[in-house]
Amino acid sequence: MKLYPFQKEMVDKFENVPSVLCGDEMGLGKTVQAIALDLRRRTTQLNGYKQTDCKTLIIAPLTVLSSWVDHIQLLWPGARIAVIDPKNRQDFVNKLRQPYHYYIVHWQGVRLMPELQSAPWWHVIADEVHKAKNRKAQWTQELKKIKTSYKTGLSGTPADNAPQDLWSVLNWLYPRIWTSYWSFTRYFVKIKVHNTGSCMAEGCGAYHKRGYRQIIGVAHVDELHQAIAPYYIRRLKEDVVKELPDKYYSTVTVDLQPKQRRIYNQMRSDMLAWVGQHEHEPIAAPVIVAQLTRLKQFALSYASLETVTVRKRDGTAQKVQRVRLSEPSTKLDAVMEIIEDNPDESFVVFSESKQIIGLLATRLDRASISHVLLTGDTPQADRGRIIDEFQSKNVRVFAGTIAAGGIGITLTAASTGLFLDRAWNPSSNRQAEDRLHRIGQKNAVHIIDIVARDTVDGGRLQQLKMKWSWLRTLLGDKVEEEVHAAV
């Protein structure tokens, strides 16, 4: 397999650099570059060691483990590869003492297998390394205990959702340089301090029962880029792969049916009441997102709340409310219209909601439109077949959740992607878009957002734009003005 010139540039630049962060935009083949870098080092840096003495650990999302195997076999057909079976971790542990070249494990496995820390690793490759952004998360702490000669981090958005998230990744790569999270945050992150009482912060003026800190952007970006330049590289598709078609966006706005509108307005009223009760309190972001996510679900289709009993880890029972989606759905009406009006075209449909993907599948069945589904419930053994079916054009529609289908796979059989809703995390949305917009795509990629009028959808797109602009600035990109550059 021949590397693209920009891919070879990465390998040439970092051959002798012990820790590397490849932040190339999604779709540029970071997996191939990491393997090629590993092979180059095996050719030039072994210093008399056997190939099997140099064990490479690859940590990747569960959904793309088989993709790593395929790429390794393509570049090195004779490589010995051990892949974790999530249902039989002990077999993987036993193989640590055997002569394999590559060991491939999912992120949860890092948390569950302390044996990884005692293995004699030569190279550790962390795919989607932004998963280690939370310095307090167990798998992040376990990752940082693994000793190795070389480290390679891969992520199109190494600061996944906030500027300060980059610190944990840099700390893994060079712990003696990036020692203090708080020093990094104070210098490179813009923070607005809201004080107790009548707030004097610029643009606020509200009354707060307790003061709090608000992150509003990034600072000293040029200094940060200069500091990480010796081991960081980031290229955009438009700059290095001129033959890759453009990506463009449009929005289809729908009106909720009366039945949907009534239940949505009721949920919005309940939420406004909740906000009124907490408006003078700094509420944790996950709490806000949980509230808004429920409202977002009510914009997808008719929804109802049902009370279910769940078992907690300590064995006790707890009653919780869950959202149940059902017909009608004007968003699904719009998606089906687009698909049926273009019978010769393939489509990818994404949503955060597994339920709405299920409702779409029912409609596709009724219309005799061939399709495949990929959600968190899809067995790992079936995922490769599902992707192959779509890529071979045996089916017209790929429908999946952003979490399960939005990373590490190629869906270039389609050039139109439909989003029923978006994730709150801007990089997750970009990841999902770039399943279509990547090497191998022959057409311009059209991304269509299905937006419900007078719902949380519109404000969500604006918020995602603001958050993405922080990340683009942090990563060294030009900040685009278009709303959809953020989504």
SS3 per residue for 352-411:
CCHHHHHHHHHHHHHCCCCEEEECCCCCHHHHHHHHHHHHCCCCCEEEEEHHHHCCCCCC
Among 226-235, 301-310, 332-341, 458-467, where is mean pLDDT lowest?
A: 458-467
Is 228 in the same domain as 335?
Answer: no
Residue 435 and residue 312 share a domain: yes
- Say if CB 238 and CB 436 are below 8 A apart: no
Look at residue 329 and give its three-state secondary structure.
coil
Q: Is there a single domain that holds both residue 56 and residue 120?
A: yes
Q: How far is CA 458 from the centre of its chain?
A: 22
Q: How far apart are CA 51 and CA 68, in angstroms?
A: 19
Can you tell me the mean pLDDT for 148-157?
Answer: 93
Q: Are residues 44 and 81 in the same domain?
A: yes
Band (pLDDT 50/70/90 cuts) for residue 482 is very low
pLDDT category at 484 given cuts 50, 70, 90 is very low
Q: How do residues 419-431 score in pLDDT, each as one tens digit?
A: 999 998 888 899 9
pLDDT tens for residues 260-270?
899 888 888 88
One domain, residues 440 and 385: yes
What pLDDT score was predicted for residue 138? 95
Under 8 Å between Cβ of 368 and 340: no
Residue 435 included in any domain = yes
Pick from 213, 240, 267: which residue ends a domain?
240
Whether residue 440 lies inside any domain: the answer is yes
CATH number at residue 105: 3.40.50.10810
Which residue, among 33, 15, 36, 17, has the nearest Cα to 25 in the 3D structure?
A: 33
Domain assignment present for 464 = yes
Whether 232 has a pLDDT exceeding 90, the answer reads yes
Look up the CATH number of the domain holding residue 274. Answer: 3.40.50.300
d(CA 358, CA 340): 18
Whether 192 is in a domain gets the answer no
225 and 315 assigned to the same domain: no
Position 310 in a domain: yes
Q: What is the pTM of this model?
A: 0.78
Query: Per the domain annotation, does 414 fall within a domain?
Result: yes
* Residue 123 lies in domain: 5-185+221-240
- Is 210 inside any structural domain? no
Tell me the pLDDT band of 73, cut-offs 50, 70 and 90.
very high
Cβ atoms of residues 76 and 55 within 8 Å: no
Nearest one of 142, 140, 104, 129 to 19, comparing CA atoms: 129
> Within this chain, do residues 227 and 302 fall inside the same structural domain, yes or no?
no
Residue 391 belongs to a domain: yes
Q: What mean pLDDT comes out for the span 396-415?
A: 92
In a shared domain, residues 181 and 275: no
| Count: domains in the chain | 2
Judgement on whether residues 282 and 153 belong to the same structural domain of the protein? no
Task: Write out pLDDT tens, residues 8-61.
Answer: 999 999 999 999 999 998 788 899 999 999 999 998 877 656 676 789 999 998
Residue 276 sits in the same domain as residue 232: no
Q: Do both 271 and 225 map to the same domain? A: no
At 280 the pLDDT is: 61
Enter the tokens of residue 195.
């004080």
Pair of tokens at residue 92: 């993987």
pLDDT at 166 exceeding the cut of 60: yes
The answer to whether residues 165 and 263 belong to one domain is no
